[in-house]
């Protein structure tokens, strides 16, 4: 009998997680079933409980339930505890529920496949759940300085204060941002609606690497904007998606799948649409 896993969200039909984890399972010869699970917006906890009763071993969690998943856990990794959000649930034999947040680790792994992070000055745009999950892995990666900027400056200040013991992190209002960043990461969901974050265009330069956590068949709105202001190297978040899934898979199964093969297949499928 195959072990059962799901990705829980609302909406969820669009999720690429079943395809990703099925490929991981085939690669590593793991017997498992991975499906989507649509939970009512007011029924996340019951959905998780019913899945556990049905023999579920673990679950990924996506919008809008990552904060609810956090409150459901009896054990938390450092990444999840500091992010205040969980994207990976493990249902342990003793009835405990362990929560991890692999989003930031997936981001860092994807960045490292393109560049070194050592001694880099990094700008993180946004202060929502995606940003919170990224901060600790970025600080651990060896960056020289992490600057966080957000439309509501107070939220950026709160995050800088929360993570100040873990590395060199500073909050700066968007209007006061200067040039000189090695890496700029957009953690906002603005690109989904074709919108742009309110940062000044002088932060972009040909030497800057720009990373948008969103992805699509075409350039995201943020990356297209960056390119129009001289940025050469722009990366979208598809590699982050596959990377965070690989870490979840390793947590559950104890084996590390090959990210590059799956990422290449996903990219080809995306571009063929």
Binding residues for NADP(+): 78, 126-130, 150-155, 213, 237
Q: Provide Rg for the chain, Cα atoms.
A: 18
Query: What is the rounded end-to-end Cα distance, in angstroms, of the chain?
Result: 35
Task: Count the Cβ atoms, other than its own, within 10 Å of residue 88.
Answer: 26
Compute, in degrees rounded to 10, the torsion defined by CA atoms 16, 77, 110, 169: 130
Angstrom distance (rounded) from CA 48 to CA 40: 11
Which is the catalytic residue, given 66, 120, 227, 256? 66
Please state the residue numbers annotated as binding site.
15-17, 62, 78, 87, 103, 126-130, 150-155, 213, 215, 237, 244
Does residue 256 have an active-site annotation? no
Instruction: Detail the residues annotated as belonging to a binding site for shikimate.
Output: 15-17, 62, 87, 103, 215, 244
Alpha-carbon span 152 to 125, nearest angstrom: 11
In contact, 131 and 148? CB cutoff 8 Å: yes
Instruction: Indicate which residues carry an active-site annotation.
Output: 66
């Amino acid at each position: 009998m195959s072990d059962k896993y799901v990705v829980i969200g609302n909406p969820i039909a669009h999720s690429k997680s079943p395809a990703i984890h099925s490929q991981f399972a085939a690669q590593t010869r793991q017997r498992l079933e991975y499906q989507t699970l649509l939970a009512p917006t007011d029924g996340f906890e019951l959905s998780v409980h019913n899945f556990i009763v049905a023999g579920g071993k673990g679950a990924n969690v996506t919008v809008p339930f990552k904060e609810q998943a956090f409150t459901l856990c009896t054990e938390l990794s450092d990444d999840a505890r500091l992010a205040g959000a969980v994207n990976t649930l493990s249902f342990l034999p003793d009835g405990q529920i362990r929560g991890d947040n692999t989003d930031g680790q997936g981001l860092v792994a994807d960045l490292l496949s393109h560049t070194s992070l050592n001694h880099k000055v990094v700008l993180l745009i946004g202060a929502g759940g995606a940003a919170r999950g990224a901060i600790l892995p970025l600080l651990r990666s060896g960056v020289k300085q992490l600057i966080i900027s957000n439309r509501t400056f107070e939220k950026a200040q709160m995050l800088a204060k929360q993570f100040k013991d873990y590395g060199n992190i500073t909050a700066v209002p968007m209007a006061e941002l200067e040039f000189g960043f090695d890496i700029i990461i957009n953690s906002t969901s603005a690109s989904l609606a074709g919108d742009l974050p309110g940062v000044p265009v002088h932060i972009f330069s040909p030497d800057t690497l720009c990373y948008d956590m969103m992805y699509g068949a075409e350039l995201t709105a943020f990356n297209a904007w960056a390119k129009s202001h001289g940025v050469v190297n722009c990366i979208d978040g598809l590699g982050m998606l596959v990377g965070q899934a690989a870490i979840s898979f390793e947590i559950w199964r104890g084996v590390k799948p090959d990210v590059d093969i799956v990422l290449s297949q996903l990219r080809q499928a995306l571009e063929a649409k």
